[in-house]
Structure 1
Amino acid sequence: MTAKTPDVWLPFPAEEVEGLPDCFRYRRWDGEDDFPADPADCTFYVTPYMKSPEVTLRPLAGMPDIEVVQTLTAGVDHVLGGLDRLPAGVRLCNARGVHEASTAELALTLVLASLRGIPRMVRGQDREQWLGGFYSALADKSVLIVGYGSVGAAVEDRLAAFECARIMRVARSARTTARGPVHALHDLPRLLPEADVVILCTPLTGATRGLAGRDFLAAMADGALLVNVARGPVVDTGALLAELESGRLSAALDVTDPEPLPAGHPLWHAPHVLITPHVGGSSSAFEPRAKRLVARQLGRFAAGEPLENTVLITS
């Protein structure tokens, strides 16, 4: 009897991905109501991008032979709730290396736009107002990057050209890099008052949920800017609203809690805040990097080699 060719589910057409091994049968599924084939035949599932957890997790219960779940996001919090449906030994891999360039670009965009008053100027243009004046520069500012993984490092790459006075780095645990020390999370109370700009790049975990809460925000210097390109729940929205409404802090948020931000939410019209709709990774840089990662992963899988970016293995 001829062995059955295993299925791989992709969120984009297989013919658009160079270098895919020919030992699989490729099925395109990007979250549509109808599945492209029987999920029971799927062995490698590349999840749809920027779909709800309900959509992403829906096929998993019918995938008894699944061996790999590959997300196209750096964070995996949206799929963790479905892992109890999987057999033991399934590898969950994230998309480290796909979003760094795009997210770091947006982080710098949010910093520069906020400091230089671009939102105010755009509103002035709508009213035909010439809003000259004196605005802040990024030059000579101290910047604190909270979450010094691949995204945080990519942010620092782009900060290098802006003549910052100081760049400080914080991660889960302390270490030394070629650029300088990375401090542990417990050093935040000491570092926050020294920063003019705080950029959140950390993944959402039990330790980082609500990290930027009342005490964190209170420790920030008067007039400082908080930038969130991480996940919305890393910031306590109520505590941030209080600081914004007092005028003590400003913020630039690519992610919010709740998200999408509903109509009528007070954050929409809070003073001193710039909001973008979770577009850090959603740029022209995403697709080519995502397809290259998928091709590499499937090549490794076909050859029986270790996969990149394995976050956990189910038990």
Structure 2
Amino acid sequence: MTLLVGVPDSGMLARLHPLAPAGVELLVWRLGDDPIDRRFDLLVLPYMIPAGDLDRLRGQRATVVQAQMLGYDGVAAHLPPGHLYCNAVDVHEAATGELALALILASQRGIPEFVRAAGSGTFAHERYPGLALQRVVVLGAGGVGREVAHRLVPFDVELVRVARTARSDELGEVLAWSALREVLPTADIVVVTVPLDDSTRGLVDDDFLALLAPGALLVNVARGPVVDTEALTRAVVAGRVRAALDVTDPEPLPADHPLWSAPGALISPHVGGDVGSMSRRMDRLTLAQIERLAAGRDPLNVVLRS
């Protein structure tokens, strides 16, 4: 029996074609294309699509829908019935951890200020906090949180991790969520890596920010709505805290939003997982899904069944 696999572009088709096992037919099908009169056994979605785009799957039969994103907030409201939806575990975590470290180092060593000063030929020598000996609180101990923590360990930091439930792993102790109010006032840096759901939406609000020590750095590599943008803007513009954000709410921020130019704010354009190795990791995951489906096994990383 032939396994029909849809991919979103000719590049993925060209990469996978020589690697796919016998009995697999690869076909480019994009969201919005006319439905075909066959059921895809596996359909890979484009990268960085809004959840609402999944409405365009209506009329096209597919057994397994494979996303290229890790987060899946909003998907349940738009995924048509009859699909298994899989997220992209092990595709973006390492790269997002890498970016979190880059944002921390840039903020802690004054790189944005140096770059701005260089534009006017100014030698802007200042002392910044640095990263060594800083107390870094990582919120979330899932895939991204682990990758962030692993990258911080060699930098001689005091690492504190907080998650929904207390536990221990290869990096040591993870504190329960109930410890958050106790640890936030002691943090030099707070890195947010939690998924977006009803319990984390607006987590970083006025009360959260009021607990942070003056000058603390908030890093968000999770989802924009985890942070109350108005509350964060007030705190950053007032000079109470600093921020390094790969995600915002809304995204992108309006061109005249005060966070773009606020001292102490650094914003990257949601590039956490978008690196050159992403395609190779996504190809590897797609091939693993093909092998499992061809063997009659359940796919990896199923997060929704519509």
TM-score range, shorter chain: over 0.9
Amino acid at match of 1:61: R
Tell whether the 8 Å contact from 1:93 to 1:309 is kept in structure 2 after alignment.
yes
1:78 Cα deviation after fit? 4.5
Tell me the residue number matched to 1:82: 78
Tell me the residue number matched to 1:168: 160
Q: Percent identity?
A: 45
Q: 1:152 aligned to 2:145? A: yes
Tell whether the 8 Å contact from 2:76 to 2:304 is kept in structure 1 after alignment.
no
For each residue in 1:54-93, what CA deviation from the matched residue of structure 2 results, as whole angstroms up to 9, or x when unmatched?
Answer: 33x1432113x4221111111111522223x212xx3221
What residue ranges of structure 2 are gaps of 5+ in the alignment?
Answer: none
Tell me the residue number matched to 2:6: 9
Tell whether the 8 Å contact from 1:104 to 1:158 is kept in structure 2 after alignment.
yes
- Give SS of 1:170's match: strand
- Give SS of 1:8's match: strand
- Give SS of 1:43's match: strand
For each residue in 1:156-202, what CA deviation from the matched residue of structure 2 results, as whole angstroms up to 9, or x when unmatched?
Answer: 111111111x1111122221112221122222111111111000111
Q: 1:286 to 1:30 in 2, by over 3 A?
A: farther
Runs of 4+ in structure 1 off by over 3 angstroms are none
- Give SS of 1:283's match: coil
Tell whether the 8 Å contact from 1:250 to 1:272 is kept in structure 2 after alignment.
yes
TM-score by length of 2: 0.93
- Give SS of 1:16's match: helix
- Give SS of 2:62's match: coil
Q: 1:29 aligned to 2:26? A: no
Amino acid at match of 2:73: D
Tell whether the 8 Å contact from 2:39 to 2:63 is kept in structure 1 after alignment.
no
2:282, 2:251 → 1: CA distance?
24
Tell whether the 8 Å contact from 2:52 to 2:78 is kept in structure 1 after alignment.
no
Tell me the residue number matched to 1:206: 198
Tell whether the 8 Å contact from 2:7 to 2:45 is kept in structure 1 after alignment.
yes
Tell whether the 8 Å contact from 2:216 to 2:242 is kept in structure 1 after alignment.
yes
1:40, 1:59 → 2: CA distance?
16
Tell whether the 8 Å contact from 1:6 to 1:41 is kept in structure 2 after alignment.
no
Amino acid at match of 1:48: P
2:254, 2:130 → 1: CA distance?
32
**Pick from 113, 123, 128: which aligns with 1:130?**
123
For each residue in 1:267-307, what CA deviation from the matched residue of structure 2 results, as whole angstroms up to 9, or x when unmatched?
Answer: 22223100000000111121111110111011101111132
2:186, 2:208 → 1: CA distance?
13
Moved more, 167-176 or 229-238: 167-176
Moved more, 144-153 or 22-31: 22-31
What residue ranges of structure 1 are gaps of 5+ in the alignment?
Answer: none
Tell me the residue number matched to 1:19: 19
Tell whether the 8 Å contact from 1:147 to 1:201 is kept in structure 2 after alignment.
yes
Instruction: Let me know the Cα RMSD of the aligned residues.
Output: 1.8
Tell me the residue number matched to 1:54: 52
Tell whether the 8 Å contact from 1:72 to 1:94 is kept in structure 2 after alignment.
yes
Tell whether the 8 Å contact from 1:29 to 1:48 is kept in structure 2 after alignment.
no
TM-score by length of 1: 0.91
